Amino acid sequence: MQTIPLQNNAVQTSKLLPLLFASIKEDEPLTVLHIGPALPDTVDFFCDYRCKLHFVDLFDDLPLTETEDSPRLQEQVDTLLDIQPDTKFDLCLFWDIFNYLERDAILALMATLREHLKPSTLAHMFSMHNTRIRPEGQFYGVLQPDTLSCRIRSHEPECYAPHSQRKLQDMLYCFTLDRSVLLPDSRLELLLRVKR
4 in a structural domain: no
CATH number at residue 122: 3.40.50.150
The strand ranges marked E within the chain are 10-13, 29-35, 50-56, 89-95, 117-128, 138-144, 147-152, 175-182, 187-194
pLDDT attached to residue 145: 93
1 in a structural domain: no
> Could you tell me where the DSSP H helices lie in 31-160?
40-46, 73-81, 103-113
65 in a structural domain: yes
172 in a structural domain: yes
On whether the CB atoms of residues 136 and 194 are closer than 8 A, the answer is: no
165 in a structural domain: yes
pTM of the model: 0.90
pLDDT attached to residue 91: 96
Whole domain around residue 37: which residue ranges?
10-194
On whether the CB atoms of residues 131 and 162 are closer than 8 A, the answer is: yes
74 in a structural domain: yes
- Residue ranges of the chain with per-residue pLDDT less than 50: 1-7
180 in a structural domain: yes
pLDDT attached to residue 1: 33
pLDDT attached to residue 8: 57
pLDDT attached to residue 189: 95
Edge to edge, the sheet with strand 147-152 lists 10-13, 147-152, 138-144
pLDDT attached to residue 6: 40
Q: Looking at the 3D structure of the chain, how many domains does it have?
A: 1
3 in a structural domain: no
